[in-house]
Amino acid sequence: MADIIDGKAIAADVTAKVKIVADTLLEKTGIQTGLAVVIVGEDPASQVYVANKGRTAKACGFHSVEHKLPEDTSEQALVDIVESLNNDPAIHGILVQLPLPQHIDAGRIIQTIAPEKDVDGFHFINVGKLGTGEIDTAFVPCTPAGSMLLIERVLGKDLSGKTAVVVGRSNIVGKPMFNLLLAANATVTIAHSRTRDLEALCKTADILIAAVGRPQMIKGDWVKPGAVLIDVGINRIDAPEKGEGKTRLVGDADFDSCQAVASAITPVPGGVGPMTIAMLMANAVTSAYRSAGEEAPSF
Ligand SMILES: NC(=O)c1ccc[n+]([C@@H]2O[C@H](COP(=O)([O-])OP(=O)(O)OC[C@H]3O[C@@H](n4cnc5c(N)ncnc54)[C@H](OP(=O)(O)O)[C@@H]3O)[C@@H](O)[C@H]2O)c1
């Protein structure tokens, strides 16, 4: 029976450390870490994420700024706001909440964010640094960075000799996860919707990352006995057992059957999810340290 990796507790450790190092920077240099979050439109899930980010930023002692813009905001108006944040010395991290309304080119907005303030790690400069192993000066996307920290807590930092399979090749999860595992010396395979015999491939993995967006797709008999399973998926499904019209969150792995086979597993909710916001805070304070010319803390 697998141990459950408590992402909530590990995320709380990370944010507690962020607060300490943010306070230290403020005392030493007078610089308060500044994080700006920009949201366009009324998407309810995005509103919840942004509220959580603002609350956590304040709890970390940050200068927290929120720009809530109406759905019909023009692309140029958004570019202008991002550029003003790029030029604001009180802001060290800029996050534009995705998805953006259809009339706005998200790619243009992401590439407008100054790479040194790109705490989401989506700018080409940061993507390129991660891809070439320049991790110490990059910003790494928060969900894969958080997933990596969970793996480290179980297996340590050096994954030499371990095989890893990442299911999903998105730019925000699968590909950066691949690069992080490779940088930690794992032997990594990335799988996607065109992969043949995914089940057999998954069964080869000492470390299995599920980032597919398909509820409970990965079953226990796909998992190598003793593997570490990181479930990035967040899917809402019907839960008639809780009452009519009720729903619940599940991951991309079938938790019960996988827990019976793996050695460690992340739950959904309470696994990777809380790590994403914690790593955003870690990236923001790291940016403030870099801007002050101070050595950035490690998490
Ligand atoms: N915990 C968090 O904070 C957090 C953050 C971000 C995302 N998520 C969750 O993580 C999951 C993945 O997110 P994402 O943004 O990476 O999703 P995405 O952009 O939709 O990418 C999904 C990937 O899964 C692959 N895939 C889809 N169906 C497949 C199948 N049947 N077999 C094999 N591969 C398949 C796709 O392959 P192709 O490339 O061939 O289409 C694609 O590469 C979602 O559940 C999302 O909600 C969680």
Q: Residue 52's domain spans which residues?
A: 28-117
Are residues 108 and 230 part of one domain?
no
Q: Is residue 131 part of a domain?
A: no
Q: Is 223 near ligand 1, meaning CB less than 6 Å away?
A: no
* Residue 178 confidence (pLDDT): 98
* Residue 254 confidence (pLDDT): 98
Q: For atom 32 of ligand 1, which residue has the closest CA? A: 193
Task: Output the CA 211–ligand 1 centroid distance in Å.
Answer: 5
Q: State the first-to-last Cα distance of the chain, in angstroms, to the nearest integer.
A: 29
Q: What percent of the chain has pLDDT over 90?
A: 100
Q: pTM for the complete prediction?
A: 0.97
Task: Output the CA 170–ligand 1 centroid distance in Å.
Answer: 6
pLDDT confidence tier of residue 95, bands split at 50, 70 and 90: very high
**Tell me, what CATH number does 220's domain have?**
3.40.50.720
* Residue 241 confidence (pLDDT): 94
Q: Is residue 93 part of a domain?
A: yes
**Tell me, what CATH number does 105's domain have?**
3.40.50.10860
Are residues 251 and 150 part of one domain?
yes
Are residues 231 and 269 part of one domain?
yes
Q: Is residue 125 part of a domain?
A: no
* Residue 219 confidence (pLDDT): 98
Mean pLDDT of the residues in the chain: 97
* Residue 211 confidence (pLDDT): 98
Per-residue exposure over 140-171, b if at least 16 CB sit within 10 Å of its own CB, e if not:
bbbbbbbbbbbbebebeeebeebbbbbbbbbe
Q: Mark whether 120 is an active-site residue.
A: yes
Task: Output the CA 7–ligand 1 centroid distance in Å.
Answer: 20
Are residues 154 and 64 part of one domain?
no
Q: Is 271 near ligand 1, meaning CB less than 6 Å away?
A: no
Q: Is residue 262 part of a domain?
A: yes
Six token digits for residue 244: 């009519």
Q: Mark whether 97 is an active-site residue.
A: yes
Q: Mark whether 102 is an active-site residue.
A: no
pLDDT confidence tier of residue 299, bands split at 50, 70 and 90: very high
| pLDDT tens profile 43-77 | 999 999 999 999 999 999 999 999 999 999 999 99
* Residue 296 confidence (pLDDT): 93
Q: Is 232 near ligand 1, meaning CB less than 6 Å away?
A: yes
Which atom of ligand 1 has the smallest separation from the CA of 174?
16
Are residues 160 and 251 part of one domain?
yes
Largest CA distance in the chain: 56
Single-letter code of the amino acid located at 201:
L
Are residues 208 and 167 part of one domain?
yes
| pLDDT tens profile 192-212 | 999 999 999 999 999 999 999
Are residues 94 and 173 part of one domain?
no
How many Å apart are CA 109 and CA 113, to the nearest integer?
A: 7
* Residue 62 confidence (pLDDT): 98
| pLDDT tens profile 96-155 | 999 999 999 999 999 999 999 999 999 999 999 999 999 999 999 999 999 999 999 999
* Residue 132 confidence (pLDDT): 96
Are residues 188 and 146 part of one domain?
yes
Q: Is residue 16 part of a domain?
A: no
Q: For atom 5 of ligand 1, which residue has the closest CA? A: 143
Six token digits for residue 265: 């597993």
Per DSSP, what are the bridge partners of residue 67?
38
Are residues 157 and 112 part of one domain?
no
Q: For atom 19 of ligand 1, which residue has the closest CA? A: 170
* Residue 70 confidence (pLDDT): 97
Number of domains in the chain: 2
Choice among 17, 19, 118, 120 that is catalytic: 120
| pLDDT tens profile 13-43 | 999 999 999 999 999 999 999 999 999 999 9
* Residue 177 confidence (pLDDT): 98
Beta carbons of 109 and 96 less than 8 angstroms apart:
yes
